[in-house]
Amino acid sequence: MSFQVISPVDGQVLREIPAWDEATLDQALADVSAATPAWAQTPVEERARLMARAAEVLRANEERYARIMTTEMGKLFRDARAEVQKCAWVCEYYAEQGPRFLADEIIESDAGKSYVAYLPLGTVLAVMPWNFPFWQVFRFAAPALVAGNTGVLKHASNVPESALAIEEVFREAGFPDNVFRTLMIRAGQVRQVIEDPRVQAVTLTGSEPAGRQVAATAGGQIKKSVLELGGSDAFVVLEDADLDLAVQTAVTSRFLNNGQSCIAAKRFIVVDAIDEDFLNRFQAAVEALHMGDPFDEATNIGPMARTDLRDELHKQVTDSIAAGAVPVTGCEIPDRPGAWYPPSILDRVEPGMRAYHEELFGPVAIVIHARDEEDALRIANDSPFGLGGSIWTGDSERGERLARRMQSGSTFVNGLVKSDPRLPFGGIKHSGYGRELSHHGIHEFVNVKTIWIK
């Protein structure tokens, strides 16, 4: 068996990378397990120094790593370069802040001395997706490794070269052997890795069904898990919004990464007072996007990662149109090889349609009309997901008041929803649990241990 690198641009098989057999997997887990105690005892300052070195390796190889991502999953090359830079940033952030986040916390009690120590758990399995093939991994690995854990990665099967390149980063940075390993295994082997006693915790970024399976397996083993799952983020536009800024950000948020982002704006909820004006401007901006070669700087949107994902997205669109949604632009598969789908808008989306209730993971924006502010907030919260969301208004206090009522892990007022190493990231409801990034993220995979001394 092997992993195939298939070009999203034309569907050609570019290369094949062998998958591991059971003996190779077992040996890798044994090697990581053997390396774990020494890494946990390594001073945090040394772990941080090596993470800073990982950032240097990333920056030195930016173009090569970016080219791997664009080739494997179709991301615009300029966006892939920016992704490598963001990975370097998160490494630098935890190199700088990690020792402070992990410092003992003195607690006054009836003891002569008492404090909380933040100690590593052991080996953490990361099950990661293809859409941000470097960033998703580094936002887990940087805090987890600085905290003294070892890491093993099961990456998406369509980005095997990215998976191997990430292991290379830590090796080139000088991390001890087997502190971080990429496991070249199939999805069907994830369960056995979670159940393996040499693995202490698991984190997954991916679909809701995958999250349910991982959570059930981890729970059955009483192992810590963190899940970042799908999202159907609301983009609420009120009557006093700056429409020029709102439309510009709407296009960026929906079609960034070729529409394949968990925290992309997906549901554009617009109050009746300005719905026609917003939709006209939005349509014009979307139709101005250029779909083409992801390596071409003139391209605004490239192909989707795989044809099966494109076909499932189109089925959601056509089912919604059959139920009464109105196609404004796009919404048809172009007659060309590869995983292409045009930037699209569906208007008049209502309850009962697939587009209303499901996540559309691709370049399709849905527009839902609301009577007023309260109706817009009701619609925003009428979703099984709760990852991110944004509110657009000329009154920042109004926006802040509504942001506190929006059911999501993060809400941005008059700004693009994005992840930032300084801020916690994660969702509620079917979007998962736990947090990544900030000091919250580094504390997810530690033993918060009380030390009491008389």
331 part of the active site: no
Domains 2-229+431-453 and 233-420 in one fold: no
Q: How far apart are CA 83 and CA 169, in angstroms?
A: 14
Q: Supply the mean pLDDT for the chain.
A: 98
Q: What is the pLDDT of residue 169?
A: 98
Q: Hey, where are the domains in the chain? A: 2-229+431-453, 233-420
pLDDT band at 223 (very low <50, low <70, confident <90, very high): very high
361 falls in which pLDDT band (50, 70, 90)?
very high
Euclidean distance between CA atoms 13 and 281, whole angstroms:
40
Report the candidate in 82, 78, 37, 77 with the shortest Cα–Cα distance to residue 59: 82
Catalytic residue among 83, 161, 167, 228: 228
Q: In this model, does residue 215 exceed pLDDT 90? A: yes
Average pLDDT value for residue range 8-14? 97
pLDDT for 440 beyond 90: yes
pLDDT one-digit tens code per residue, 98-144: 999 999 999 999 999 999 999 999 999 999 999 999 999 999 999 99
What would the mean pLDDT of 67-95 be, rounded to a whole number? 98
The architecture (CATH level 2) of 2-229+431-453 comes to 3-Layer(aba) Sandwich (3.40)
Tell me the pLDDT tens digit for each residue of 133-190.
999 999 999 999 999 999 999 999 999 999 999 999 999 999 999 999 999 999 999 9
Token couple for 360: 């559309």
Give percent above pLDDT 90 in the chain: 100
pLDDT at 1: 79
- Asked about 92 being catalytic, the answer comes back as no
**Which of 87, 91, 262, 331 is an active site residue?**
262
pLDDT confidence bin for 308, thresholds 50/70/90: very high
Assessment of whether the complete model's pTM goes beyond 0.85: yes
CATH number of 233-420: 3.40.309.10
